[in-house]
A and B are shown apart, each in its own frame.
Chain A
Amino acid sequence: MTIDNTAVDTAALRLDGVTMRFGSVIALSDVSMHVDPGTVTCVLGDNGAGKSTLIKILSGVYTPSDGNFLLEGNKANFSSPRDALDQGIATVFQDLATVPLMSVWRNFFLGNEPTKGVFPFRRLNTKYAKDSCKTELMDMGIDIRDPDQAVGTLSGGERQAVAIARAVHFGAKVLILDEPTSALGVKQSGVVLKYVLQAKERGVAVVFITHNPHHAFLVGDRFFLLNRGKMIAQYERADVSREELVRAMAGGAELDALAHEIETLTTD
């Protein structure tokens, strides 16, 4: 249960006693965590646990009220998501990652368009963009039929996969995934989890934020449990079984009480 948070200097990202207050509301209280390159770090929490606030701090939307946010050992200094992106922190939001009406290659290079020629004749290098989009997706194991097809025609899992591949391609050191599987069916979730592992194998520090301990257990190397704004537990993969994780996530005794309650209801 205890992990030495101070000795490791190789962490891609580290939060040290971070607190976030909105007026009198304390959304996060004294949260510490760290994320190593080439690992998947899962942050588990139920609704209202503070996951969204945590994502917004990591992706540069909020600056913490208290505590330190270190990026590769240096104090992070973001004023916007664009800053965070420039410093290698890419966030894939659940529904807000791609533009459905635009083609796959246009989405893939959105905000980082490759150009050729000199101003005023500078233009998109469409051939390079389409080819490298296709090869890059293929390298991640995503086979799209045609880079010209609209992202809206892809399945939910493929859309998430395109967003993940995009972040990896543009050199993200830290990849933050906001509930990437929560809107997906079992098969599609599997597709996304596969790309999470692909990103990890490429040395990316992945932060996987979810309320689903089963999905987390499939890919996670380290688990942090968030509840009511506090980090209540940490596990290394080797030290925890799936059942323990599910129980801890559901609040152990609370789950027992709930199970008992349901049981009495159904037997009545």
Chain B
Amino acid sequence: MSTAIAAGDERLARSSTFVRVMRRPEIGALMGAIVVYVFFSAVDTTGTFVGLNGAARWTDVAATTGIVAVAVALLMIGGEFDLSAGVMVGTSGLFAGLLISEYNIPVWPAIALTFVFAACIGLLNGWLVVKTGLPSFIVTLAMFFSLRGVNLGVTKLLTDTVRVADIDEGEGFESARAVFAAELWQPYGFKVAVIWWVVLTVIATWVLTRTKFGNWIFAVGGDKLAARNTGVPVNRTKIVLFMYTSTSAALVGIISLMRLRSMQAGQGVGEEFVFIIAAVVGGCLLTGGYGSAIGASIGSAIIGMAFIGIAYAGWNTDWSWLFLGLILFVAVLTNSVIGKRFSGGRK
């Protein structure tokens, strides 16, 4: 050991700022975001992608993806998946919408009840995962299909249609709309969701990297048994992460409800993989224990730029799914190469 000291110091000196930056989990996503931005600026046919008008559009997509993707990233770092995060967007929007339109509950109490309801779904997901020991992939897949059925069934039962409407007749709608769906900085029309997204990303990053709970997230995802042996409350940590994921999906559900003044029963289905893609592009390992919240946000920005950029390029928007697939593959490959070259600590 003592003979290694001299060699060790040399190695420390070589670990320059450049290597430190390259070691960050979100570096691949950041480079990808720059490439994607330059690419869509070049193929843009409308001349608005680069400017603030374009930014207002793609940040909107990025925000509604990113709010949930950041939560999904923390959950993935904690070693679990939530495939019900997409459908939860629809479920919570419908839940709030039905409370307002069918039961005449004022908008603000309905929103509060929706968050409580969403937290309970997250609690159920987490509780089932830690108690049964089944993979969260299966537990939340079951939750996904159950909620998908419930969304359609209950909506049809109560409204005889597959959508919930007339939300704007609810008491307090205008003030709620100002908080969740306002447009800022005219004439560009940035959505207020962008502020929610940025603030939640900053808080999630701080919690993950600077608090005791964040340390526990890395530990339970990195090695559950080692974490338990050192006294980390593994089950509680995982359950809280499931609850955070479902409530962040509820926030996006309420944002859509306030924005559209109605909700389709099929809303959100399919989004769960977009969240996971954003998290993985942002540097999260599928095996847990590694990743970043800000990376998931950058991943969401890439997805936002791709969706809007393809439309602005004048291409058929059906191509966005192909693009998403390519981004996922290239990003994971890049992360893996960077990880091997610069860290050595990743297994």
A binding-site residues for B, Cβ under 8 Å: 81-82, 85, 91, 93, 96-102, 106, 109-113, 115, 122-124, 126, 141-146, 149-153, 158, 166, 191
A92, B211: Cα distance in complex, Å: 25
A101, B1: Cα distance in complex, Å: 22
Q: A85-B231, A126-B210 are in contact. Are A102 and B346 (CB under 8 A)?
A: no
Asked whether B345 lies within 8 Å of A149 as measured between CB atoms, the reply is yes
A142, B5: Cα distance in complex, Å: 10
Asked whether A99 lies within 8 Å of B218 as measured between CB atoms, the reply is yes
Residues of A within 8 A of B290 (CB): 101
Asked whether B229 lies within 8 Å of A143 as measured between CB atoms, the reply is no
Asked whether B345 lies within 8 Å of A153 as measured between CB atoms, the reply is yes
Closest 9 A/B residue pairs (Cβ): A150-B345, A111-B231, A99-B222, A111-B230, A145-B8, A113-B212, A101-B289, A99-B223, A96-B225
Contact of B219 among A102, A152, A153 (CB under 8 A): A102
CB distance from B79 to the nearest CB of A (A): 11
B227 at the A interface (CB under 8 A): yes
Residues of A within 8 A of B230 (CB): 110-112, 166
Q: A122-B211, A146-B15, A150-B346 are in contact. Are A102 and B229 (CB under 8 A)?
A: no
B232 at the A interface (CB under 8 A): yes
Residues of B within 8 A of A150 (CB): 343-346
CB distance from B43 to the nearest CB of A (A): 39
Q: A111-B232, A149-B345 are in contact. Are A141 and B1 (CB under 8 A)?
A: yes
* Main DSSP-derived SS at the A contact region: loop
B48 at the A interface (CB under 8 A): no
Known: A96-B225, A144-B8. 14 other contacts (CB 8 A): A82-B231, A85-B231, A99-B218, A99-B226, A100-B345, A101-B289, A111-B227, A124-B210, A145-B9, A150-B343, A152-B346, A152-B347, A153-B344, A166-B230
Closest-by-CB residue of A relative to B218 is: A102
Residues of A within 8 A of B227 (CB): 99, 110-111
B4 at the A interface (CB under 8 A): yes
A143, B343: Cα distance in complex, Å: 20
0/1 string, B280-319, CB within 8 A of A gives 1: 0000000001100000000000000000000000000000
CB distance from A148 to the nearest CB of B (A): 8
Which of B5, B215, B232, B290 lies at the interface centre, i.e. has the most chain A CB atoms within 10 A of its CB? B215
Asked whether B2 lies within 8 Å of A143 as measured between CB atoms, the reply is yes
B11 at the A interface (CB under 8 A): yes
CB distance from A162 to the nearest CB of B (A): 12
Interface size class on chain B is 20 to 34
Residues of A within 8 A of B229 (CB): 81, 91, 93, 96-97
B340 at the A interface (CB under 8 A): no
Give the contacts of B209-256 with A (CB-CB under 8 A).
210-212, 214-215, 218-219, 222-223, 225-232
Closest-by-CB residue of A relative to B290 is: A101
B12 at the A interface (CB under 8 A): yes
Which of A81, A109, A111 lies at the interface centre, i.e. has the most chain B CB atoms within 10 A of its CB? A111
B binding-site residues for A, Cβ under 8 Å: 1-2, 4-5, 8-9, 11-12, 15, 206, 210-212, 214-215, 218-219, 222-223, 225-232, 289-290, 343-347
Residues of B within 8 A of A106 (CB): 215, 218-219
CB distance from B87 to the nearest CB of A (A): 31
Closest-by-CB residue of A relative to B12 is: A145
CB distance from B302 to the nearest CB of A (A): 24
A203, B175: Cα distance in complex, Å: 65
Q: A124-B210, A124-B212, A150-B346 are in contact. Are A97 and B226 (CB under 8 A)?
A: yes
Residues of B within 8 A of A99 (CB): 218-219, 222-223, 226-227, 289
Asked whether B226 lies within 8 Å of A143 as measured between CB atoms, the reply is no
CB distance from B12 to the nearest CB of A (A): 5
Asked whether B8 lies within 8 Å of A143 as measured between CB atoms, the reply is yes
A110, B345: Cα distance in complex, Å: 18
Asked whether A123 lies within 8 Å of B219 as measured between CB atoms, the reply is no
Residues of B within 8 A of A111 (CB): 227, 230-232
A142, B8: Cα distance in complex, Å: 12
Asked whether B211 lies within 8 Å of A123 as measured between CB atoms, the reply is yes
Residues of B within 8 A of A166 (CB): 230
Asked whether A101 lies within 8 Å of B225 as measured between CB atoms, the reply is no
CB distance from A94 to the nearest CB of B (A): 11
Residues of A within 8 A of B219 (CB): 99, 102, 106, 110
A8, B296: Cα distance in complex, Å: 60
Contact of A142 among B1, B11, B222 (CB under 8 A): B1
Residues of A within 8 A of B214 (CB): 124
Closest-by-CB residue of B relative to A83 is: B231
Closest-by-CB residue of B relative to A59 is: B229
A122, B214: Cα distance in complex, Å: 12
Residues of B within 8 A of A143 (CB): 1-2, 4-5, 8
Residues of B within 8 A of A93 (CB): 225-226, 229
CB distance from A208 to the nearest CB of B (A): 18
Asked whether B226 lies within 8 Å of A98 as measured between CB atoms, the reply is yes
A145, B231: Cα distance in complex, Å: 27
Residues of A within 8 A of B8 (CB): 143-145
Asked whether A110 lies within 8 Å of B215 as measured between CB atoms, the reply is yes
Asked whether A152 lies within 8 Å of B345 as measured between CB atoms, the reply is yes
Residues of A within 8 A of B11 (CB): 145
Contact of A81 among B2, B223, B228 (CB under 8 A): B228
Q: A110-B230, A150-B343 are in contact. Are A96 and B223 (CB under 8 A)?
A: yes
Contact of A101 among B12, B210, B211, B222 (CB under 8 A): B222
Residues of B within 8 A of A112 (CB): 230-231
Residues of A within 8 A of B1 (CB): 141-143, 158, 191
Residues of B within 8 A of A126 (CB): 210
